[in-house]
Amino acid sequence: MGKHALGVLAWTLLGYLYLPVIVLLVFAFQGSGLLSLPFTGPSLRWFQFVVAEESFRSALMSSLKVGLAASVMAMVVGTLTGLAFTRYKLRFQRPLEAMSMAPIALPGLFIGLALLAYFGRLGMSLSLVTVFLAHLLYVLPYVLIVMRNRMERFDVAIEEAARDLGANAWQTFWKVIVPFMMPGLVAGALLAFTLSLDDFVITFFTSGPETVTFPVKVYSLVRRGVSPEINAASTVLIVITVVATVLAMKLQAPQKSGKG
């Protein structure tokens, strides 16, 4: 009885979480301009509108540029920081680790306001550059978590064996450590890209009037009411996010080694 009750509770919770998303996806293919039943479609009319609309394309390209730049930089910095935390005993390591995780614990509203004030003090005009710097701060801790988790599973004996066979430190790093880190590198970058692509709150505070990302564009349209093109635009964002998240989770999953 308890098992069935937990199953019903689990399915109810999943339905509560994902039913709105399913409704959004369904009405994105609505042929008419009405968000009501009966459903007329399926139709790609609103997706074609989103693709043809310059403002949507520009906003999507801005999000992709910032997401790619932030994910690549976070991958580099997060990897080096993860290596430092796992392979060396640093002075004040505990405070450094706590500070590196702070953006995860702090509300996005607080981060956005703090960065807005900081960029203002520096005299920086709000643009894609400030959005990139803000997203880098936001996604870096997640990449660091992925890389630390990956490197904590590294068998130091493999590195020692490579050194015993004549490899120098540089060869050992590129031929032993980097191949081992590669799934974590790609997974961390995909996770950072997903978080950057979806972010609205921090972007809202650090983007200028001429800098519009995809979530900000959708928000500006939602304020005037939900329409089919918003559903189509949101569907595009959901698909990109889901694909990147699934790939990241797949790469983070422990690899099963075959015996033979």
36-60 confidence digits (pLDDT tens): 666 666 777 778 777 788 888 888 8
Confidence grade of residue 222 (pLDDT, cut at 50, 70, 90): confident
Residue, of 194 and 37, whose pLDDT is higher: 194
Q: How many CB atoms lie within 10 A of CB 194?
A: 22
pLDDT recorded at residue 41: 66
Nearest to 136, CA basis, from 92, 80, 202, 87 = 202
pLDDT recorded at residue 165: 81
CA 29 from centre of chain: 26
Residue 131 reports pLDDT greater than 90: yes
Residue 105 reports pLDDT greater than 70: yes
Is the pTM higher than 0.85? The answer reads: no
pLDDT recorded at residue 252: 61
Confidence grade of residue 260 (pLDDT, cut at 50, 70, 90): very low
Residue 103 reports pLDDT greater than 80: yes
Residue 175 reports pLDDT greater than 60: yes
Burial of 56 (0-12, 13-18, 19+ CB in 10 A): buried
